[in-house]
A and B are shown apart, each in its own frame.
Chain A
Amino acid sequence: MDRYDAIIIGGGHNGLVNGAYLARGGLKTLILERRHLVGGAAITEELRPGFSFTTFSYALSLLRPQIIHELELPRHGFLPLLMSTRFAPGADGDHLLFTRDHDENLREIIRHSPHDADAYEQYGHDLDRVCQAIKPLLDMAPPDIFSDDPEELVALASLGSRLRSLDRRTLHNAVRLLTGSAADFVDDYFDSELLKGWLASSSIIGSKVGPRSQGSGLVLLFHSLGEHDGEFGTWAFHKGGNGGFTQVLARAAQAFGAEIRLEAPVERVLTRDGEATGVALADGTEIAADVVVSALDPRRTFLELVDPRELPDDLVEDIRRLKFQGVSSKVNFALDGLPAHPELGARADIYRGFVNIGPSIDYLERAYDAAKYGRYSEEPYIDCAIQSTIDPDMAPPGRHVLSCFVQYTPYRLREGDWDIEREPMADRVQATLERFFPGFGDLVLQREVQTPLDIERTLGLSEGNIFAGEFLAPQMFFFRPAPGWSQYRTPLAGYYQCGSGTHPGGCVMGAPGRNAAHQILKDRGTPIG
């Protein structure tokens, strides 16, 4: 039997990060991926010659900067490309267009509301302060509040003193965001419906909440915790899409000595006397290892890869209660040219970043209403990105790829199922785009649709939840994925978890993979330097 120090199940970005760190820490490491390519939700596929589609995830921001340095990613081709504009079309040709010139942007806001210009600065500053306070929590295992271990008590105390060191306003803003709704939060600053809709759009990503739901503030805050070259809350397109990024990670992991095996689905984790001893592949191959790490979501980690009977009842129950409720789809297009905006035309510069179809809080909330009753939105929220304007290698000259992240498309439809509703849903997306960019339909060369069901089938993300477990307060930090099990360990010795279902959560962030590697190496007595 082959034998490794560590086996990672799942070659998504967290599995790759985890494997790279373990290899870097000196462990003989094997990463097992079920599919023919690594990357999981962060892949790029050439579905039409010359057109590269970011099948699922499409932009980068939350990636922890330490990972870039510690894994020496620039040596392996890490190249996050700046998005130079952001565009929010409104009704009837109205729009907000932001460039990299801050003062120009303030003028653009004033066009809609004189009040909102300095309010926008205040909003940005307040949000930056909260992010600055919270970010360090992303890089550690949450302290175990249920433990009497002195080390845990110290960690808890230092968390408390960190909170106490915050100024009142920042702490209050943090609580407003963590517990309240995004609509209430942005209402406190702004008048312009278009601006509010734009800002509140990041409060619903991947989550079954509307901007007026309590808890949407948390989602907004989470999406603000990223950075691009030190600029908080800013996003980039990686060269070659997010799949380009995971290829970089794979090269880095291999450079540290990790082995990657493709088309190697793991059937189950082998255990003996409450201890993991290796894995069995679907084809029956058994591979031995001291450490087995699941980079899959918590349902797979606790209910499928191991026999739930080997686990404490309350843990099994907590995992069963975990909310997934995927509501997001992708509709990706190959285009014959750039869409034309009624006012601005087909100017390339308006598309060098996200294009946000979410022109008001009402629009977003109405889109959400459908999801509450098991329907997909008539007029969905769409986060568009024409990545070929930033990375021309993604499409032939004059042609483009358009990635559309779509909500709401609930995993469980009240009527019909996704195999029937897939194309009709994509038709709604296309009709919505047609409304904002008349003539859009004529540009479409090809369309790819990924519903929550497809996401679940292809990636194994339960119910198609893009974060491997929703961003709800009772599913975060101490409680992610379950109370008492937020430190990447499991009740089975040698069996660990490092997927997006662990702290801090989903997004192409790498933090779960990195934090888990720290924990594993610490438990083995060889902490990362």
Chain B
Amino acid sequence: MIRTTPFHPRTSALNETGLWQHWSGHLAASRYQSSDKLEYFAVRNAAGIFDTSPLYKYRIAGRDAERFLSGMLARDIRQCPPGHAHYTTWLDERGFVLEDGVIQHRSVGEYLLTSAEPNFAWFADRVGRMAVSVEEVSLGIGALAVQGPRSRDLLARLVPDTAALPFFGITTGSIGGRPVTVSRTGYTGDLGYEVWVETPDALAVWDALWDALDGRGVLPYGMAALYMLRIEAGLMLLGVDFDSSRFAFNDAHRSTPLELGWRWMFKGLAEDDRPFIGRRALEREIAERTSRWNMVGLVVDWQDYDRVYSAAGLIPPKDHRPIHEDWMVYDDERRRVGYAASTMYSPVLQRHVALARVRPDLGRPGTRLFLEFTVDHHYEQVAAHVARLPLYNPQRKTA
């Protein structure tokens, strides 16, 4: 049976469409009213609220928690003091990505790791003799994302510390008289926060939060809007932009963190002596430059796009709904040099954009490439240029 989240009694009352999808075994609203794009704009222009409870959540704690995690996670967790969070990844020995997730350092020696798929065994089975407990707390914690330019001011009225919280900082407070943790994290690439609550407190927190948000331009947003936001934000989606190496049948379905554009996670690698799973492979990949791909943004040339449709007598579509299909990418000599797995028309950028993997030597911003899709059941190749990720990166996100 499909589960519902702790906020379901409230979200289901708001969902006017009856449209739900399944996410990690839970019902998740696809959109709350007739327009996913309206919900998207609420996040980009005011604020939106999103029930992100279906994430997997693990409490990792104990005297050796930091030591344990610094061997398990590829990004150096020792650089994440209490009160901070990291976007991180964990690898297999060949240096391929198993998954990504956000880890919160809640108090000394106590962490909360979130991930899209189950990872309990991967972590618990590697504890060995260290003083660490790994606890599955997925159902015990509900989470709400409050994202958008107004999110800070609105949340700070309830949790004052939010006002000064740095990007990827975490703090605690209370909403509706119930304890909450607030992290400055999210999946939208905008200014935004996530509120973490104990499941029994969920409805009380929702009600107090909703009272503070309602009538202030805030809309609940569903999965459809989320998928738009995350593409502009350059945030990868498991199962779309990459797969877990753990269950891949061949290397074509595997990616290294460098191939996914996460080189920034390893800035201090040379200075840190931490042994972690995948380290040697990662070092070899860096030294020998064996990455197969470069994850980039593509921005489609609007004139060329209009040209192919107009030539076919069609009105060039500008559909904001993301397409999660492999579209081939070509170079100037029309050789295949990569593929895009997430494509959409971006309302804030006013362009068709894509998250694409291209040959590593073609990753320089401005490089001219071609994206292939069908028009009238024929393949067409349309000019595009490489752009840095995130495609949309407002100052307020980190300011």
Query: What residues make up the interface of A, taking CB atoms closer than 8 Å to B?
Result: 65, 68-69, 73-74, 78-82, 84-85, 99-101, 104, 128, 132, 229-232, 239, 349, 352, 390-393, 397-398
Contacts and interface: CB of A to CB of B under 8 A. Distances in A.
Contact of B318 (A84, A230, A393): A230
Contacts of B345: 229-230
B216 A74 contact: no
Contacts of A68: 350
A84 B38 contact: yes
Given A69-B350, A74-B348, A101 B34 contact: yes
A397 B38 contact: no
A100 B46 contact: no
A81 B38 CA distance: 8
Interface in B306-349: 315-320, 345, 347-349
Given A81-B45, A99-B33, A349-B33, A229 B315 contact: no
A80 B349 CA distance: 11
Given A82-B35, A229-B345, A69 B318 contact: no
Interface of B: 33-35, 37-38, 41, 44-46, 150, 215-217, 302, 315-320, 345, 347-351
Nearest to A73: B350
Contact of A391 (B34, B45, B316, B320): B45
Given A82-B37, A82-B41, 20 more contacts: A65-B302, A65-B350, A73-B350, A78-B350, A79-B44, A81-B45, A82-B38, A84-B38, A99-B33, A104-B34, A229-B318, A229-B320, A230-B316, A230-B317, A230-B319, A232-B315, A239-B45, A391-B46, A392-B150, A392-B216
A101 B17 CA distance: 10
Nearest to A98: B34
Contacts of B41: 81-82, 390
22 contacts: A69-B302, A74-B350, A79-B45, A79-B348, A81-B41, A82-B35, A82-B37, A82-B41, A84-B33, A84-B37, A99-B33, A99-B34, A100-B37, A104-B34, A132-B315, A229-B345, A230-B315, A230-B317, A230-B319, A231-B318, A392-B46, A393-B45
A82 B228 CA distance: 15
Which of B150, B349, B350 has most chain A Cβ within 10 Å? B350
Contacts of B349: 74
Chain B interface, DSSP helix/strand/loop, else mixed: loop
A70 to B, nearest CB: 10
Contacts of A82: 35, 37-38, 41, 347
Contacts of B302: 65, 69
Q: Which 8 residue pairs across A and B have the least CB separation, nearest first?
A: A392-B217, A230-B318, A99-B34, A100-B35, A84-B38, A101-B34, A84-B35, A100-B34
A405 B349 CA distance: 30
B180 to A, nearest CB: 23
A284 B151 CA distance: 51
A84 B34 contact: yes
A199 B227 CA distance: 35
A390 B46 CA distance: 9
Nearest to B154: A397
Which of B215, B349, B351 has most chain A Cβ within 10 Å? B215
A73 B38 CA distance: 21
A204 B150 CA distance: 39
Nearest to B302: A69
B35 A99 contact: yes
Contacts of B215: 397-398
Contacts of B316: 230
Contacts of B347: 80, 82, 229
Nearest to A232: B315
Nearest to A132: B315
A134 to B, nearest CB: 13
B216 A128 contact: no
Contacts of A104: 34
A132 B351 CA distance: 20
Nearest to B349: A74
A69 B351 CA distance: 9
A162 B316 CA distance: 19
A17 to B, nearest CB: 16
Nearest to B149: A393
A135 to B, nearest CB: 10
A74 B348 CA distance: 7
Contacts of A84: 33-35, 37-38
Contact of B38 (A78, A100, A128): A100
Contacts of A80: 347
Nearest to A102: B34
